[in-house]
Amino acid sequence: MLKYILLAAAWLLPCAVAHAQAATPWEVAVKESIDATHVVDQPLAADGSLVPSDLTLDTSFLNTGMFAFWPTPAPPNATDIEDGLRVFPWSNCNPLCTHKGFYVVGRVKNTDGTWQSSITRRKADGSLDLAFGTSGWMYPSSQASDVVDAALGAGKIYILTTVDLGGIPVMRVTCTDLATADSCFTGFGGFVSFGASASGAIRSAHARRIVYDARYGLFIAGRVWTTARGWELAAARLDADSGGLVTAFHGDGTNVGLPAYAAQTAADIDILELAVTPAGNPGTERLYIAGTVKLTAADYDGFVLGLDPLSGFSTTGWLWPQVYFEGDNLDFKKDAVTALTVLRTGRVVMAGWSETDVAGERVAFIQRVNNDNSVDSSFCTSGSSGKCRIPVRPLVGVVNDELPVALAERYQNRDLVVAMKTRTRSGDYHPAQAVMQFSSNGNVLHALQTLDFAADPGDAQWSRPFDMWVGNIAFVTAPVNEVVTVVGTRLYLPTDYDGTLSQMLANDSIFADRFGGTQGD
């Protein structure tokens, strides 16, 4: 079985764990005073237990609703270390669309310490589609310093990696035609090295996030190293057909820089999320780049930068706004924005984590802002600046370790769904995957599902999510049938990690909408 050791940055979304650069304090992250004492409502039965709700495991999905997976047979030079990174819907449209299953993108560690990317296809019932690729698998890149992210677009999967080009780390996007397994790019298409920043020459470029949009093509983001300043943010727009830079974006296809409040020397920044305003949403269309940036050695703030997707320049209200949650500590700590989604109203919801005064502890928060980044006072509680802890009671007497990785809005009732790494609620409190559904105003927890994957008997349990998809799997003319699908990684043996895939039902089971139906709260 193929698995992957997440090393010191295990909590982070796909990150460069194989690089030889100086260590980065990944425990960074988000800020602004908020109501840290607020405990959301949780519906209770007469005996005090939580009322049954949505997010029950879909037992039609490989019988249990959750399973581990790994390539069989193993690809050449592979170890037993692998991750599931991204999950995308697989549909057949002719012209009406039918849900067929999922594409799952992952990575496999090689025996020499490099990585190779993987794509597998699962049928709607979770079983492996042996008609895809070779025995259900494709391996687009056989050797990369890191495989970090992926995007689906127009019958192609784009995978973002960091590779060495002449001994220099650069960002690279591979493009795979899902019908033929052929590469879509030729020559140096998909390679991005970046030129120079205001701080001087760039010595290395490390990939972090990619997003595809049919209107604009591909956006990638990562961090670049300059000897004069340190780490800076780097973003680029690529043509989805050729992989070449789109020069209309900031003059040469790239944009590099830091906020004015960042540390002036030994700068540090990381990019943890990338999103584009969906077509048809109200408000200004933007490319959102989120993550964490160093102010001082002890204080990192989250940030969300909003760029015009065509020009590549910042837009009103979104010039590096700081995001932080200092209500859980007595001094400035480290914070990060790790997940973001744009709602159908045009508002923006972001989630992340914040250090507390307990050593090693991070708690998750969520915030909603208006399209212009003004405070949305209708979210969370009054006076909270539209920000609060994610609606689940923190463990008492246990060091909480919470990392939101994905946010989505339910189509049926506009509830918010978040996937995160957290600790189990009992036993040895080991890290596990959790999915929560709560009200659109952020105040009521409607459902909580813990996805706890088994390890080899006698070995420690550990798992974490990387991505989540929320959507309708019913035929276009059928009633809505929403599911939540989560991909991640579990520890099986000390040197043996597997990808994981889970599916939960998201149809409302106990909440009636205002018209007495079953589609809302």
Q: What's the mean pLDDT when you consider all of the chain?
A: 86
Residue 14 CA to residue 404 CA, distance in Å, equals 13
The residue with tokens 């060495």 is 164
- Flag whether pLDDT at 8 surpasses 60: no
Backbone angles phi, psi at 4, to 5 degrees: -145, 135
84 and 405 Cβ atoms separated by less than 8 Å:
no
- Flag whether pLDDT at 419 surpasses 90: yes
Backbone angles phi, psi at 65, to 5 degrees: 90, -10
Residue 436 CA to residue 420 CA, distance in Å, equals 8
Q: Which long-range contacts (CB under 8 A, 24 or more apart) does 249-252 make?
A: 249/309, 249/310, 249/311, 249/312, 250/311, 250/312, 250/313, 251/312, 252/195
Whichever domain contains 269, its CATH number is 2.130.10.10
Predicted confidence at residue 411, as pLDDT, reads 83
Q: Is 483 part of a structural domain of the chain?
A: yes
Domain count, the chain: 1
Q: Write out the residue range of the structural domain in which residue 160 sits.
A: 7-18+25-505
How far from 250 is each of 157, 308, 377, 465, CA to CA, in Å?
A: 26, 10, 34, 34
- Flag whether pLDDT at 329 surpasses 80: no
Confidence band of 413 (pLDDT split at 50, 70, 90): confident
CA 148 vs. chain centroid, Å, equals 10
Q: Is 184 part of a structural domain of the chain?
A: yes
Confidence band of 478 (pLDDT split at 50, 70, 90): confident
Q: Is 124 part of a structural domain of the chain?
A: yes
Confidence band of 426 (pLDDT split at 50, 70, 90): confident
CA 309 vs. chain centroid, Å, equals 20
Predicted confidence at residue 480, as pLDDT, reads 80
pLDDT tens-place string over residues 277-325: 999 999 999 999 999 999 999 999 999 999 999 999 999 899 999 998 8
- Flag whether pLDDT at 404 surpasses 50: yes
Contacts with 94 (C-beta within 8 Å, 6 or more apart), sequence order:
none
Q: Is 297 part of a structural domain of the chain?
A: yes
Task: List the one residue out of 143, 145, 142, 119 whose CA is nearest residue 132.
Answer: 119
> What six digits make up the tokens of 446?
């409607």
Q: Is 90 part of a structural domain of the chain?
A: yes
pLDDT tens-place string over residues 434-477: 999 988 998 888 889 999 999 999 999 999 999 999 999 988 77
Predicted confidence at residue 250, as pLDDT, reads 96
Q: Is 514 part of a structural domain of the chain?
A: no
- Flag whether pLDDT at 21 surpasses 60: no
**Region 137-147 average pLDDT:** 96
Burial (CB count within 10 angstroms: exposed 0-12, middle 13-18, buried 19+), residue 312: buried
Predicted confidence at residue 300, as pLDDT, reads 95
- Flag whether pLDDT at 97 surpasses 70: yes
Predicted confidence at residue 47, as pLDDT, reads 63
82 and 72 Cβ atoms separated by less than 8 Å:
no
274 and 14 Cβ atoms separated by less than 8 Å:
no
Residue 404 CA to residue 120 CA, distance in Å, equals 25
Task: Report the percent of the chain where pLDDT is more than 90.
Answer: 71
Q: Is 1 part of a structural domain of the chain?
A: no
- Flag whether pLDDT at 394 surpasses 80: no
Confidence band of 201 (pLDDT split at 50, 70, 90): confident
| Reported pTM | 0.88
Q: 167: which DSSP letter?
A: T
**What spatial distance separates the first Cα and last Cα of the chain, rounded to whole Å?**
43
| CB burial readout 250-263, b (16+ within 10 A) else e | beebbbbbbbeebb
Predicted confidence at residue 436, as pLDDT, reads 94
**Region 3-14 average pLDDT:** 31
| CB burial readout 168-181, b (16+ within 10 A) else e | ebbbbbbbbebeee
| CB burial readout 127-161, b (16+ within 10 A) else e | ebbeebbeebbbbbbeebbbbbbbbbbeebbbbbb
Q: Is 515 part of a structural domain of the chain?
A: no
